[in-house]
Structure 1
Amino acid sequence: MWAASATGCPVPTTGPITRPPGWPRGSTVIGYIVRRIGGGIAVLVAVALMVFVLFESLDSDAATVMLSRTGGGDPTPEQLAALRAELGLDRPAPIRFAEWMFGFLHGDFGDSLLSGRPVGEVLLGRAGNSVTLAAITAALLIPVALVLGLVAGARAGSRTDRVISTVALAAESVPSFVFGVLLVATVALSLRLLPAVSLLPTGAGPWSRPEILVLPVACLVIGLAPHPVRMVRAQTAEVISSAYIRTARLNGVGGVRLLVRHIAPNAVSASIHPLAGSVVGLIGGVAVVETLFSYPGLSQELLRAIEARDFPFVQSAAVLMAAVGIGVYLVADLLAMLVSPATRLLFTKGRI
Structure 2
Amino acid sequence: MTRIAAGLVTLLVVSFVIYAATRALPGDAAQIILGRNATPELVAELRSRLGLDIPLPVAWWNWLTSALHGDLGVSTAALAQNNTVYVSDQIGDLLRNSAILAGLTMLILIPLCLVLGTWMGLRAGRIGDRIASQTMLVLGSLPEFVLGTFLIAIFFAWLHVLPPLAMLGANGNPLAQPVSLVLPILTLLGVLVAFVARQIRAGVIESLRQDYVTMARLSGIGEPRVVRRYALRNAMAPSLQAIAQSIQYLLGGIIVVEALFAYPGIGQALVKAISLRDVALVQGIALILAASYIAINILADLLVMLMVPTLRTAAR
TM more than 0.5: yes
Counterpart of 2:56, as a letter, is: A
Runs of 4+ in 1 over 6 A off after TM superposition: none
**Alignment-derived partner of residue 289 in structure 1:** 257
Counterpart of 2:47, as a letter, is: R
How far off is 1:77 after superposition? 5.7
- The match for 2:24 among 43, 51, 57 is 57
Does 2:77 match 1:110? no
Tell me the distance in 1 between the aligned counterparts of 2:49 and 2:292: 33
Asked whether the 8 Å contact 1:65–1:308 carries over to 2, the reply is no
Cα root mean square deviation, aligned: 1.9
Does 2:138 match 1:175? no
**Alignment-derived partner of residue 303 in structure 2:** 335
Structure 2 gaps of 5+ residues are 79-83
**Alignment-derived partner of residue 262 in structure 1:** 230
Asked whether the 8 Å contact 2:203–2:238 carries over to 1, the reply is yes
User: Which is further off, 265-274 or 92-101?
Assistant: 92-101
Asked whether the 8 Å contact 1:62–1:310 carries over to 2, the reply is no
Tell me the distance in 2 between the aligned counterparts of 1:89 and 1:158: 63
- The match for 1:348 among 309, 313, 316 is 313
Tell me the distance in 2 between the aligned counterparts of 1:158 and 1:328: 35
Structure 1 gaps of 5+ residues are 1-33
- The match for 1:245 among 197, 201, 213 is 213
User: Which is further off, 298-307 or 187-196?
Assistant: 298-307
How far off is 1:93 after superposition? 2.3
Any idea what the Cα deviations from partners look like across 1:235-278, whole Å, max 9, x if unmatched? 11111122221222211123212111111101122211011100
- With over 3 angstroms needed to count, the CA separation of the structure-2 counterparts of 1:86 and 1:153, relative to structure 1, is closer
Asked whether the 8 Å contact 2:77–2:276 carries over to 1, the reply is yes
Counterpart of 1:307, as a letter, is: S
How far off is 1:94 after superposition? 2.5
Any idea what the Cα deviations from partners look like across 1:10-40, whole Å, max 9, x if unmatched? xxxxxxxxxxxxxxxxxxxxxxxx3222211
How far off is 1:59 after superposition? 0.8
Name the SS of the counterpart of 1:156 in structure 2. Answer: coil
Asked whether the 8 Å contact 1:47–1:318 carries over to 2, the reply is no
Tell me the distance in 1 between the aligned counterparts of 2:3 and 2:300: 12
**Alignment-derived partner of residue 223 in structure 1:** 191
Greater per-residue helix proportion: 2
Q: TM-score, normalised by structure 2?
A: 0.92
Asked whether the 8 Å contact 1:127–1:298 carries over to 2, the reply is yes
Identity of aligned residues (%): 38
How far off is 1:335 after superposition? 2.0
**Alignment-derived partner of residue 81 in structure 2:** none
User: Which is further off, 92-101 or 127-136?
Assistant: 92-101
How far off is 1:87 after superposition? 4.1
**Alignment-derived partner of residue 9 in structure 1:** none
**Alignment-derived partner of residue 41 in structure 1:** 8
Tell me the distance in 2 between the aligned counterparts of 1:204 and 1:350: 46
Counterpart of 2:142, as a letter, is: V
Tell me the distance in 2 between the aligned counterparts of 1:52 and 1:87: 12
User: Which is further off, 49-58 or 208-217?
Assistant: 49-58
Any idea what the Cα deviations from partners look like across 1:137-158, whole Å, max 9, x if unmatched? 0001111111111100111111
Asked whether the 8 Å contact 1:216–1:290 carries over to 2, the reply is yes
Counterpart of 1:348, as a letter, is: T
Tell me the distance in 2 between the aligned counterparts of 1:124 and 1:82: 28
- With over 3 angstroms needed to count, the CA separation of the structure-2 counterparts of 1:349 and 1:301, relative to structure 1, is closer
**Alignment-derived partner of residue 136 in structure 1:** 104
Asked whether the 8 Å contact 2:259–2:271 carries over to 1, the reply is no
Counterpart of 2:232, as a letter, is: A
- With over 3 angstroms needed to count, the CA separation of the structure-2 counterparts of 1:82 and 1:262, relative to structure 1, is closer
Tell me the distance in 1 between the aligned counterparts of 2:4 and 2:236: 25
**Alignment-derived partner of residue 59 in structure 2:** 96
Tell me the distance in 1 between the aligned counterparts of 2:170 and 2:281: 21
Tell me the distance in 2 between the aligned counterparts of 1:349 and 1:79: 59
How far off is 1:202 after superposition? 4.4
